Every structure is written in structure tokens, then in C-alpha cells.
Structure 1
């Protein structure tokens, strides 16, 4: 299997999803702005989304994929099928219970996750109602995560990467066409979440059937594979929950800040998710099964080479993305979101959070590359300990930045960026200390060439942006071609400089046995 080709495939699907995600956010910003209703929806969607990442895509995938890869490679497809049946049944029953309990306890959960909303009875009641509608999303997406884990283990990366497109289409359809029929209109977004979850699950079932892995109901707590997954999930849930708890605590802080703070952070985070998903999630998706196979086959050299490839590719693509987003913050936000109820002041407030996030973009994605180096070896405790330390640092920085320096919502973003740098650094040191990763030759020259290309690109963008205030007053017909020209010019200057310095696409081709 050509990993670079797989990465391009997954990133291409993710790119489509991210583009539609921007369309989705632009539509939502136009219709709902950054006011009370949108703040309520952001909090309502964040809670089931948090639990989805906690129980499904995060902890579950980290524990499930390495064990499934071991079954597939060592025991054969029949034993792998039996494991999938047992895991799917248990996952469904657990998440069904969590979903029903969450819908029942929603008012208490909102008091916990957004206590500042309690001061406004209308805002609190709306948030509770929206959360109850969106809560079943965790059940659908847990099953989607299982299907994606199976398909990725069988090197079917494209379809799982495509499925988020359906959620974005659901949002766009409901916001544009269905919102006027709801009272209040924001309810349409909550039902869009449910519709998106159903569609994402439905599209993956035929693909599972084609590889003979469509789950059947088969309950068993005595399956040794299931027990191993549960044992790995315990620390994995803690590890994933650390990142999600950090976001949740940030929401608690933001709920006490000026109206719009939750939305400003949300829109900045959405921009950050573009490169993070395009590369970070894609690399993590294709690396984990490949690393798990190297570990199962006892090939430590190939394991180290795969990690080195992932690290170089991450820096090659994330450093220019972070620099470009920092320099193009106002043009990007003004072009994508400044229309309708989203005002010029919202652009500037969102930009301040985006700048803070940009400082940690490379670290956030490096974590997604380094952590699979532990998960593939079924060592989840080490990254969990590091994540817990990062959580503590994040909250200490929150106190300093908000109450000490008065940075408000931008301080929340900055604390996440700095803590992610600590997280990535400790993961790297852990892999080096364990002997799992040994850097390949040529890193010094690699860094030097990257730095020169970044300087050239930065200069092109700096002079190309011009007066940022002009972007706040410019019409859309002027913004779009100017922004497109800046993006193309920045990319051409960066990759053109690298080409002159001797970089070639073939240098990053990497094959892994399937």
C-alpha cells in the first residue's frame, strides 16, 4: 500500500468535507450570527460531540484498531469477524444507555458545562432543548466510528473520510430550507445533527457487507479480544477525555465572558480544524493500522521509519499552514463569515482567537502523529499521563491569561496551543526514550530548507494582504478573488522555493505492506 497515495485520498475527502464545512459555517453565521441562539447551539452540540469523541472515535479507535489489526493479521478473517460482532453489540448497548441517560439529565449537564447560561432563563432553556435533540448523535457516530475502524484496517480509507460530508450537507440543507419552519429557527440545526448521524451510518453499511464485516448482534463478555479492548479503553477514555475536558472547561470559562465569546472561539476553531483534519486526522488514520501491523510483525525499523515519514510530512505542511492562517486571519474570516448577522467586530474578535490557535497548530497535529506510536504498541498509559499533565497546564494558563492578563477568549485559545506544544514534546521524548523512534538522517538540512521557504512565503503574504481594515469594508466580489490570489501566491512561493532547494514529491513516497 502506498501511504502517500492513501494520505492524498483521505486528505482529498477531508478537503471536500472541510470546504463544505466552511460553507456550512458561512450559512450559519449569515443566518444566526454570533448571538444568544448560536451560543446555545454551540454548547448543545459540543456535549454530545464531546461524548462521541470520548467513547467512539477517540478512545474506542485507539483501543479497537490495534487489536483488530492483530486479529486480522495473525488469526484470520473469521476470528476478526467474530470480534467485530461482539464489539459492535456491546458498543451499541452501552451507548444506547448513555444516550438515554444524557437526555434525561440534560438540565444538570448544562449547569455543569455552561453554568454562566443559568443567569439567562431563556438561553438556558433553549440550550437544554437543543441538547436533548442532538444527544442521539453519540449513538449513531459511535457505530460510524466502529465501521470506520474496520474499513481502515482493511485499507478502505476513502469512504470513512467522506462520511463527514453528509453531516455538512445536512446542516446546509436544514439551515437554508428548513429553518423558517422551526420555532425558534435554531432548532433546525439540532435536527440537522440527528439527520447527519443517520446518513453517515447508512452509507458505511454496504461497504462493510462487501468485505464480509457487517456486524451481527452477538453479545459476549467472555471474548478475550473484547476484554483486551475494554482494558485498553479505560486509560484511552481518560486520555481522550483530557483533551475534551480541556475544551469543556474552556466553554465554562467562555460562558462567563462577553456574549459572543463561545461563537468567536467556535469559528476560530473551525478554521483550525481545516488543516488539522486535512493532515492530522488523515495521517493518524493511515498510520495507526500500518504501525500496528509493524508492531504485530515485529518490525521495529519499519515502525521507526513510518514515524519519521509522518513527522517530516507534518512539519512540511503544517508550518506554512499556521503562518498563512496567522497572516491571512482577517481576510479569511471576513471573506467566509462577514455577512448577515456576523459583523466587523466579530471578525476581529475571531481573529484574535485564531492567532492564538495558530501558535499551536503544528503541535496539535504532531500529537496526532506521535500518539499512534504508543497506541499501535498497545501502550495507552504513557500518552494518558502526558495528556493529564497537559490538562493541568492548560487550566493554569487559563487562569493566568484570563484573570491575570485579561486576554479573555483569546487566552483560552492560547492556553490550548501552549499545552499542546508540551504534549507533543513529551510524546516525542517518550518515543525516543523507549527506542521506538530513531530520527533518520538529514533533519538539519530539512529544517533549514523549510525555514527559508517559510520566510519567502511570509514576505509574499505580508505585502499581499495590505491594509486589514480594507477587508472589513470590501464587498464579496472583491474579497474572493483577492483571497484566492493570496492563497495561490503563498502556496506557489512556498512550494516553489522548496523545489528550487531540491525537494521532490518522490522523496515522500512511502510504502507499507498491507
Structure 2
């Protein structure tokens, strides 16, 4: 379809035999480490899946948990990371503007505004989510509970993996692809070492070892994020403004309010699901969706009341012209 459209516009597309020119060599030299750095999460998943094959059912439980775990990473981390890199590249070319620090500040605040509530939901109501969306047929309630245990530990690693998407682009924009690659490889080694130790150690104690794989994945993510962040701070590439802390604390307050509501719902899961199942064909699914919706409404309402990230901030971030700030920094304290 794209080819036909290009032809109609008069654009001629031909195929040439690739040649290893100096320009291509330069691209490959830069691209190789960046590909490895961006593949750390997938390498960790591959390691976890390989180790989980030693335990009956563990691979399915980790896979199901990983599907929900990847949702905020794809919607938030990738979107912000892709949008951030071009802006950072322009900012590096004009360092006198200081736009690189502004871009990181805004990306951090906006990403945490979406990531913290998502992570809180995975941590507070993992079984509610798995029971509502996955349980049924061959996937029993016991499977949902086992998957929820893994999802809980994946959940507190979500902010780290989103931060990696934000903290790596400043290196790439400066042509530094080796250090993110090294940090990613370190995180993979942490995941392999810790994951294998916890997996076989827990099994030796008569416990489910797959939970250790989820713990190792989140720990490795935080190791990568901390290495990236500490390097940016140490070299003063990123110098967060005071308003960033204010926004983050307000987001944390809104997240705590949402987590409290979700926690109450989790404690009353059985009567909530029972009430809806007695009246609707898909009562269990409707109950889960409703709980998620109420949690989102509570978060948005409290975030508005405490002046965390607002819709105006998001619109400015999406439609931000050059030279303006995407997140309001006024009256932060």
C-alpha cells in the first residue's frame, strides 16, 4: 500500500545492492551498541523463560504476567523515548539553549505521571486483574494466583524500565552508545546471576522458584536505570529543576490515593465479583474494568486537586513549539 501511494505521488523507489561505505560503517558502529542496549529487557525475558522451563507451569505464569507488565512499557516508555530522542539531538546541537535538561525534566514528570499509577495497580491488585481478565477455561484460579505473584514483582520494576527509555536517549543523542550498552549488559548479568540463584534457591526450600525470576527482572531493571541516571547526574548532563521534585511528590500523593482505593477493592474482591456475576454474563470482567476505571478516576481527581500533571501539561507536551516548556513549573511548592 505504501509503495502504491508513493508511485501515485511520483516517488520512484528502487532497490540497490548495499555497499559498505564509510557512512554505512559509521551507522553500523553506532547502531550495534544501541541495539544491544535496547534489547536488555527482551534478553532478560528470554533468560527468565529459559529458567522457568525447569518448573511445571512457570513459563505460562510468567508469560501471562509479562503481557500485562509490557503494556505500560509499550504505551508509555516507548512513546516518550521515541519522542524525546529527536528533541535531545536538536538540543545537543545547540547546547546554549539548555533544552536538553528541560526535555529530560518534562519527560521524567510526564512518564512518572502515567507509570506510577500503572505500577501501583500491578502491585496492589495483581490477582484481581489476573482473575478478571485471564481466569477461565484451562486457566484456573490457581493459575491466576500464581501469575499474580509474578505480576506483583514485575510491577515494582515498571518505573525502572520506563526510566531506561528516558535516560538512554541523552547518551544516544551525544553519540555515546557504548555506555548504555555496558549498563544493559551489566543488568543482564545481574538478572542471570540473581535469577538463577533465587530460582534454584527457592526451589531448594520447597517454594515456587519462578517468583525469583520476576524479582531478578525488576532488580536488573533498577540496576540499569540507576547506572544511567547516576551517570547523567554525575556528569551534569541532567540537572533536574526543583519543580520536578514537587511534581513527582504530587504524583506520588495521587498514586497513593488510588492505591488505597484499589486496596479496599482487593480486600472485597469476592463480594464485588459475586454481585456483578449474579447480574451480568461477563460480570467478572465488568467488575475488574469498573475497579480499574474507579482507580483511574480517583487518581485523576487527586492529581488535579494537588496540581500534579494536568491535561494542559499533556497538551503542551504533544503540541510544544520550540522554546517553550511542556510542563507547567509555576507554584510547585
The interval holding the TM-score normalised by the smaller chain is 0.7 to 0.9
In the aligned structure 2, how far is the partner of 1:428 from the partner of 1:210?
Answer: 48
Aligned mate of 1:417, from 215, 218, 222: 218
Residue-by-residue CA offset, 1:41-85 (whole Å, 9 max, x unaligned) = xxxxxxxxxxxxxxxxxxxxxxxxxxxxxxxxxxxxxxxxxxxxx
Q: What is the correspondence of 1:351-370 to structure 2 with a 5 Å cutoff?
A: 351-370=148-167
Aligned partner of 2:181 in structure 1 is 384
Aligned partner of 1:326 in structure 2 is 123
How far apart are residue 229 of structure 1 and its match? 0.9
In the aligned structure 1, how far is the partner of 2:268 from the partner of 2:71?
Answer: 25
Aligned partner of 1:502 in structure 2 is 307
Aligned mate of 2:194, from 383, 397, 401: 397
Say whether 1:264 aligns with 2:61: yes
Say whether 1:481 aligns with 2:286: yes
Contact 2:55 2:210 in 1 (8 A): yes
User: What secondary structure is seen at the aligned counterpart in 1 of 2:168?
Assistant: helix
Aligned mate of 1:350, from 132, 147, 152: 147
How far apart are residue 434 of structure 1 and its match? 2.9
Aligned mate of 1:228, from 26, 29, 46: 26
Contact 2:125 2:262 in 1 (8 A): yes
How far apart are residue 215 of structure 1 and its match? 5.3
Aligned mate of 1:255, from 25, 40, 53: 53
Cα gap change, 1:513/1:419 in structure 2, threshold over 3 Å: closer, same or farther?
same
Q: What is the correspondence of 1:11-90 to structure 2 with a 5 Å cutoff?
A: none
TM superposition score normalised by structure 1 = 0.56
Aligned partner of 1:465 in structure 2 is 266
User: What secondary structure is seen at the aligned counterpart in 2 of 1:405?
Assistant: helix
User: What secondary structure is seen at the aligned counterpart in 2 of 1:247?
Assistant: helix
Say whether 1:314 aligns with 2:111: yes
User: What secondary structure is seen at the aligned counterpart in 2 of 1:342?
Assistant: coil
Q: What is the correspondence of 1:164-313 to structure 2 with a 5 Å cutoff?
A: 205=3, 216-258=14-56, 260-298=57-95, 301-313=98-110
In the aligned structure 1, how far is the partner of 2:6 from the partner of 2:147?
Answer: 41
Cα gap change, 1:250/1:480 in structure 2, threshold over 3 Å: closer, same or farther?
closer
Gaps of 5+ in 1: 1-202
Cα gap change, 1:336/1:212 in structure 2, threshold over 3 Å: closer, same or farther?
farther
Aligned partner of 1:431 in structure 2 is 232
Aligned partner of 2:326 in structure 1 is none
Contact 1:453 1:495 in 2 (8 A): yes
User: What secondary structure is seen at the aligned counterpart in 1 of 2:136?
Assistant: coil
How far apart are residue 206 of structure 1 and its match? 5.7
How far apart are residue 294 of structure 1 and its match? 2.5
Gaps of 5+ in 2: 324-333
More helix by share: 1
Give the number of equivalent residue pairs.
311
Contact 1:330 1:471 in 2 (8 A): no
Contact 1:326 1:358 in 2 (8 A): yes
Residue-by-residue CA offset, 1:356-400 (whole Å, 9 max, x unaligned) = 100100101110111111112221101111111111111221133
Cα gap change, 1:207/1:483 in structure 2, threshold over 3 Å: closer, same or farther?
farther
Contact 1:401 1:412 in 2 (8 A): yes
In the aligned structure 1, how far is the partner of 2:7 from the partner of 2:173?
Answer: 26
Cα gap change, 1:215/1:362 in structure 2, threshold over 3 Å: closer, same or farther?
farther
Cα gap change, 1:244/1:306 in structure 2, threshold over 3 Å: closer, same or farther?
same
TM superposition score normalised by structure 2 = 0.84
Contact 1:325 1:358 in 2 (8 A): yes
Cα gap change, 1:414/1:498 in structure 2, threshold over 3 Å: closer, same or farther?
same
Cα gap change, 1:463/1:289 in structure 2, threshold over 3 Å: closer, same or farther?
same
Residue-by-residue CA offset, 1:444-481 (whole Å, 9 max, x unaligned) = 32233223212211111111233445688884532233
In the aligned structure 2, how far is the partner of 1:442 from the partner of 1:213?
Answer: 48
In the aligned structure 2, how far is the partner of 1:384 from the partner of 1:216?
Answer: 34
